[in-house]
Amino acid sequence: MQATDLGAYYFHQGTNFEAYKYLGCTLTFEDGGKYVYTFRVWAPNADAVALISDFSGWESPLALSRVTERGVFELSYTSMSSLEGLSYKYRIYRDGREFDKGDPYARFSRGYDDGASVIFTDDGFEWGDKSWLAYRSRTVVEAEGVFLPTPINVYELHIGSFMRHEGDNSYLGYRELAEILPSYVKSMGYTHVEFLPVHEFPYDGSWGYQVCGFYAVSSRFGNPTDFKYLINALHKAGIGVIIDWVPAHFPKDAWGLFEFDGSPLYEYQGEDRKESSWQTRFFDLGREEVQSFLISNALYFLREFHIDGLRVDAVASMLYLDFDRRPGEWVPNSDGTNENREAAAFLRKFNSAVHGEFPDVLTIAEESTAHGGLTSPVYNGGFGFDLKWNMGWANDFYDYVSTDPYFRRYKHKALNFPLMYAFSENYVLPISHDEVVHGKRSFIDKMFGEYEDKFLEARAALLLQMTYPGKKLTFMGTEYAQFREWDFENSLEWFMLDYPKHREFRAYVSALNSFYLSHSELWEIDFDERGFKWIYPDEQDKNLVAFKRLNLRGEEIIVIISFSGASQEISLKVKPDNLEVLFDTGNFATRSDFVLENGLGAKIIMPRFSGVVLKENKKKINIKPKHKEKRNVL
């Protein structure tokens, strides 16, 4: 059996996790310096398939031959010169119709409405990130019974609107961004960037979430080599790179995966599963060739682009048969349940494949329900993700800070209820792009009250995010308190930094991030109750919480945060002389006013909308390791 035969066999079995080396356009050489380009495409329902291109003629189709019973077509094309950078499409013939499609495995594309695939073979890029990859291997681990005892503070970013050229409002390219982004992210104290989808997509208004070219990075910003250059620059600066990955659905643009060979192929066929409320098509995750396509795609970006994490979008839409459907629009399982078992099996297969090859790469679920086991190991019946966005925390917390402080007592569960389930999954606390658009207001503008109060409340809110258990994610623009909602068609309003309030706010966020990075109490034990102790969970009448965070050495810090519109007093059973102020939100009068002797312990005067982090100097007590199931195990 030839290597190509094995490639076809495993592709049709759903286990070819290098499918991009078999399908698409591959290059070999013959004697005499001839370039041999082999084109392969899966189109089982097509009557015929042909290649149209820059080099063979757009109206002079070259026929491909069917080479597998399950529908792979192939053509070898020999050229005396390189075809690098030239474009092509597949012409599909079906039932008297013909239509042109981009190559699903193309590594580059013209994108937009055209969608022609571009030949892009190995670019010979030389990576310079060995030190980063070694660091990643050392830190994405389990230590002393604790998973991921390392700081993770993510800066979420949309490449098209982070910053644009002045004058014509055109995009910055990947290489231009590489000159700006690494130093900015590093100086602000973030550990990772997370890019909204970078794969090729036609419609800017989808923010990249309606992907047509899954193997091609968006040509809006440059070519694949340029994107590698950006990732390499970030890695050399000590910044990890996470990308959004969208295996749930794809749009109905003509050149994409939509009814690729004249009928549903990559998508489900049944009307109860085929189309989403976003007017996109759901992947048929039970089909073996689709599994090979998607899992190979994830591994392609990890192998070829050294990506450090995949944030899997819209997991709930994959897991539930009745997701966003009314009664009568979906068909339950034979036992009446609503879980999409094919999708569940696919997600386990995906995580097993990723972690089998890359145990130090993070997979992160964006899942909006309370479905259990997302971050439990596959061998234990879980789904095998490393992390999950805590969207419930975010929604409740935004509602809380938007409420008049006088009425916040009735919504105090937003502050204490998250700790009831905080350790049921490995959570990320997200302040994400989804929550600063479509009338939801920017983060700073969610805060109740007048201009001055909003800045004070936002400082306290970010202190809570950074000190509660869980890894952190913040969307661009939040760090300097942009008031305007995020607008994907324009740059962030960097001119706001001309105003003192916004400069001061960014300096505060930078200081807060730096404090987070330098205090292991805030990240060594994020997913275990041993890392958290309540002091005051139920002070609803004071709009206040107080708690402790602990590291693996048993060292403690004390966090007190007040969302009250009035100054108030809180007592601690500690000796004032033993207390050290580590950090505060900056609206205390003087640090000497923080702690006052009252005979029994310490009392602290908390100004309105304020927070403080304290340390009691006392003897250390080591926390004994507790057995916890290892992550990233098949």
Q: For residue 533, count other CB atoms closer than 10 A to its CB.
A: 12
Cα–Cα distance for residue pair 430/475, rounded to 1 Å: 8
**Active-site residue 366, yes or no?**
yes
CB 618 within 8 A of CB 589: no
> Which amino acid, one-letter code, is at 472?
K
Which residues share a beta bridge with 228?
A: none
Contact 383, 373 (CB under 8 A): yes
**What are the DSSP calls for 100-154, one per residue?**
EE--TT-S-B--TTT--EE-----------HHHHHHHHHHSSEETTEE--S--EE
| Local structure of 257: helix, strand or coil | coil
Q: CB-based contacts of 304: which residues, under 8 Å, 6+ apart?
A: 224, 228
Alpha carbon 245 to its chain centroid, in Å, reads: 7
Structure tokens at 479: 């760090």
Start-to-end Cα distance in the chain: 29
How many CB atoms are located within 10 Å of the residue 611 CB?
30
CA distances (Å), origin 303, targets 307, 356, 358, 490: 8, 13, 9, 32
Nearest-angstrom CA–CA distance, 13 and 291: 9
Q: d(Cα 451, Cα 502) in Å, to the nearest integer?
A: 12
DSSP assignment letter at 486 = P
| Active-site annotation holds for 313 | yes
Query: CB 160: neighbour CB atoms within 10 A?
Result: 20
Backbone phi, psi, residue 338, to 5°: -115, 10
Among 259, 284, 360, 366, which one carries the catalytic annotation? Answer: 366
Q: 410 with 134: CB under 8 angstroms?
A: no
Give the separation between CA 3 and CA 111, rounded to whole angstroms: 32
C-alpha span between 632 and 634 (Å, rounded): 7
Closest by Cα among 304, 230, 271 to 18: 304
The burial of 236, by beta-carbon neighbours within 10 Å (0-12 exposed, 13-18 middle, 19 or more buried), is given as: middle
Which residues, in sequence order, are CB contacts of 351 under 8 Å at separation 6+?
363, 378, 383, 384, 385
| Rounded CA separation 279/250 (Å) | 9
Task: Count other C-beta atoms under 10 Å from residue 386's C-beta.
Answer: 25
Q: How many CB atoms lie within 10 A of CB 592?
A: 9
DSSP state string for 283-329? B-TTSHHHHHHHHHHHHHHHHHH---EEEETTHHHHHBTTTT--TTS
The one catalytic residue in 103, 129, 313, 367 is: 313
SS3 344: helix
- Residues catalogued as catalytic: 313, 366
